[in-house]
Amino acid sequence: MGTLSGRVVFITGASRGIGRAIALRCARDGARVVLAAKSDRPHPKLPGTIHTVAEEVREAGGEALPLRLDVRDADAIEQAVATAAETFGGIDIVVNNAGYISLTPIRETPVKRFDLMIAINVRAAYALTRAALPWLEKSDHAHVLNMSPPISLEPRWLAGHVAYTISKYGMSMLTLGLAEELRDRRIAVNSLWPRTTIATAAISVHFPKEIYERSRRPEIVADAAHALLVRDPATATGRTWLDEEILREEGVTDFSVYALTPGAEPFPDLYIAPS
């Protein structure tokens, strides 16, 4: 497996959960990690800030640049990209991980909340990728990774939470479109989604406790992201991957090590049919 040593990795939603796990996995290679999130001060109910994760990144062997960023603000995204490139000399990898979830039917989803999901999920991924594009074009190892699912038009994946699904499928459509648009510039664009629920604050808040306990730790997504991001961008592009698919290609077959609760049957994530 290759390495991300010296690569500049810009991660949104990097103060906790999957974003933090990806940051630490990159740091173990000696990557230079831009930690972009709104959480620059301690939250009374949620652990972690960009500053605490920055300390962990440095302890793991990487360099860290914590940046407070509201991904709804396109101008702030442009400034964050400029700061990151000035600090580290460029940007090689963008991970669009920041997200907002509301699994509510239309009557319980005001337009304001719909707009919030569109802004934080698909619009932010578009804005950050666009802002980083001049630097990605200069890199010899450019990747964009969107945390979004494979697209299935089965009604069950839309009914009951159509607003959220639109926002996440929008990210996946961004993946498929930009992968083709940027192919001749050797910029890989892919999506990554967990086959099972992941033990994050989102699962804790929006799902029953039983499902949280049957979840896997964020490290499985981080290991899958790393395995994808070290691949040749000229060929590894245009896919909506599941974490297990990538890891199996790397020879990993025992996923029990990622279980939050040892021995528990993993719970399938949204958009994943039970096996």
Specify the pLDDT at position 18. 98
Task: Report yes or no on 273 lying in a domain.
Answer: no
Task: Report yes or no on 268 lying in a domain.
Answer: no
- From 164, 169, 258, 271, active-site residue: 164
pLDDT > 90 in the chain, percent: 93
265's CB contacts (< 8 A; 6+ apart) are 214
Tens of pLDDT, residues 39-91? 988 887 778 899 999 999 999 999 999 999 999 999 999 999 999 999 999 99
Task: Report yes or no on 271 lying in a domain.
Answer: no
Specify the pLDDT at position 274. 78
In this prediction the pTM is 0.97
Both tokens of 235, joined, read: 């060929």
DSSP assignment letter at 197: -
CATH number for 128: 3.40.50.720
Task: Report yes or no on 121 lying in a domain.
Answer: yes
Tens of pLDDT, residues 107-166? 999 999 999 999 999 999 999 999 999 999 999 999 999 999 999 999 999 999 999 999
Task: Report yes or no on 266 lying in a domain.
Answer: no
Domain of 113, in residue numbers: 8-258
Both tokens of 102, joined, read: 């509301």
19's CB contacts (< 8 A; 6+ apart) are 11, 12, 13, 35, 37, 95, 97, 98
Active site residue 164: yes
- How many domains is the chain partitioned into structurally? 1
16's CB contacts (< 8 A; 6+ apart) are 39, 46, 47, 48, 53, 200, 201
**Reported confidence tier of residue 94, pLDDT bands at 50, 70, 90:** very high
